[in-house]
Amino acid sequence: MRELDPALTPDAAGYEAVWQWSIDDPDAFWRAVWKFTDAIGDPGLRVLERGILGMRFAKWFPEARLNFAENLLRHSDNAEALVFWGEDRVKRRMSRAELRLEVARFAAALRALGVRPGDRIAAWLPNMPETIVAMLAAASIGAIFTSASPDFGVQGALDRFGQVAPKVLIGVDGYFYNGKTIDVLGKLAEVARQLPSVERVVVVPYVSSQPDLLSVVKAATWADFVAPFIATTHIEFTPLPFDQPLYIMYSSGTTGVPKCIVHGAGGTLLQHLKEHQLHGDVREGDRLFYFTTCGWMMWNWLVTGLASGATLLLFDGSPFALDGRILFDFAQAERMTHFGTSAKYIDALAKTGLVPRERYDLTPLRAMFSTGSPLSAEGFDFVYQAIKADLQLASISGGTDIVSCFVLGSPILPVWRGEIQCRGLGMAVDVFDDEGRPVRGVKGELVCTRPFPSMPLGFWNDDDGAKYRAAYFDRFPDIWCHGDFCEITEHDGLIIHGRSDATLNPGGVRIGTAEIYRQVERLPEILEALVIAQNWPPESLGDVRIVLFVRLRAGVALDEAMIARIKSTIREHTTPRHVPAKILAVDDIPRTKSGKLVELAVRNVVHGMPVKNVEALLNPEALDHFRNRPELATD
């Protein structure tokens, strides 16, 4: 890895010094990041204008002009830009030169349609090359790109796109998942019909070479849409302000209509360049993969890897296709250098019995990234024992809210079992107790005490900023409170114990859900688990009991012996307060499209309250397993 400052030693003490400098002198640090990463554009003279009204009014690089797409398309040679696998059905490659040609044609078609800076382009697409082409074409103009995966239902898509009134809707005829072909043209037709702002629907043929578009209003195939425009490498990159809106992204929406989070081009670019090159050691020619859909922020994070000269490895489908081998088939065949996935995938893979290091050549693999939920200590063990011993395992955490990370890895730091390696450079991350005091070695709220470039520009349709302020700044005045329950360790690493709003509080003691998951999921009989706090007794004023739901391996019964084993495992490795009052078996556990557990939705079901947006769930039918359980009406 190249050093940001050659005078600093690349070790733990050196990292701490660089981190401290990066938050103490943000002007110098972020200007150095711009220079170090060779970002294309004019940074101007000023780096940071601190808002007199508080952190959320800070303005970064107020004189800068840049274009996000120009930075990602800076390379135009014949090296590979994209490699795409659609499960085991489709394989495609695209060079950097070919990518630039495709972006140029699509941008020309958008301009001819009258697309201007600030217009919204919505993509309801799989993680495929056309999605990246559409985003880069939109960004070259200054239009705002927003995306969701095609496994959303009609209402889920409308809850998102309906709020932002897109001018263009890009969809697909279907997709492949776990060996099945899923047709979505009917859903696309219905969504298009209910979006009056849409002037053109562009359909990507994926599962069929000639989809029937008669039912889709204002529709044209991708090929027909770009046909009038000649292939050329020339793209008109509009120079835009640093805070030009680039993306609209959506909160999970499991407790109401999703929030529409607006992210700026400059902050997204610099933050991702920093994270890729300084924290992930992504270099030109590397082969970067993240298992993600276009409805998760990790897609946006992955795509920026083009700006560092990496080849993007794109996969769409089930990660457990071909008996769970598909992603490692991909890794070996394409000489993957960076493997990104979720903690839940690693946990599930460990229970399949697959030992990738025994059957795959993973020599090029240097780093593995994990996010979506906390990675257990046993997950670290599995990666190093079963996948590869000599790689950087970087558990990372941030979110859609900042389209990046607060805490993540570093190639110059040791990896401690069960810990995230470090706080991000330029990110003034701390942990506060309930009184707003910094704490170490104990659990508290993850906060960021100073502004950073990838803070959202705001929420769409939130003109006075009230929703934005309430989301992040109400808990501690002028301090970003992220909603994660965590602690800073003796190594200056971090452990995330779960979301603050899902934290358990039996007898007034705060317990993170991840603390229980770490113990329960180490048992081979348990495939996955979900834990909530149930109001108990029902008439009590605020007291709760812990209820654990488990999905068991086939053939395993939740008998008294199994319950006793679960309880003793939790008690032995945590405290008696962590032991659930009730343990119940379920056939399935609900999760979001990006694979995150939805404790709050289950808690609402258990308490007879509505779940406001089941369209946000991958498997909403799983909620029925938690409804009206007679075991939860008794001691």
CA distance 83 to 81: 7
pLDDT, tens digit, 9 for 90 and up, residues 566-583: 999 999 888 888 999 999
Identify the pLDDT of residue 2. Answer: 38
Instruction: Judge if 67-306 and 501-633 fold alike in CATH terms.
Output: no
55 and 23 Cβ atoms separated by less than 8 Å: no
Residue listed under structure tokens 């359909």: 203
Identify the pLDDT of residue 54. Answer: 86
Q: Which of 499, 601, 603, 510 is nearest to 548 (CA)?
A: 603
CATH class of 501-633: alpha beta
CA distance 542 to 223: 59
Identify the pLDDT of residue 574. Answer: 84
Q: What angle do CA 595, 600, 606 make, to 5 degrees?
A: 115
Identify the pLDDT of residue 510. Answer: 77
* Fold of the domain built from segment(s) 67-306: Rossmann fold (3.40.50)
The residues, ordered by sequence, that sit 6+ positions from 15 with a Cβ below 8 Å of its Cβ are: 410, 412, 413, 422
All residue ranges of the chain with pLDDT < 70 are 1-13, 253-256, 508, 539-542
Identify the pLDDT of residue 8. Answer: 37
pLDDT, tens digit, 9 for 90 and up, residues 492-548: 999 998 888 788 878 767 788 888 998 998 899 999 999 999 988 876 556 889 999
Residue type, 452: F
**CB-side exposure of 299: number of CA atoms within 13 Å?**
26
Distances (CA, A) of 299 to 153, 304, 480: 20, 9, 24
Identify the pLDDT of residue 539. Answer: 63
pLDDT, tens digit, 9 for 90 and up, residues 1-33: 334 443 333 455 689 999 999 999 999 999 999
Identify the pLDDT of residue 573. Answer: 85
Quickly list DSSP for 170-223: EEESEEEETTEEEE-HHHHHHHHHT-TT-SEEEEE-SS-SS---TTSTTEEEHH
Identify the pLDDT of residue 319. Answer: 93
Identify the pLDDT of residue 504. Answer: 85
CA distance 456 to 261: 7
Domain ranges of the chain: 1-63, 67-306, 501-633
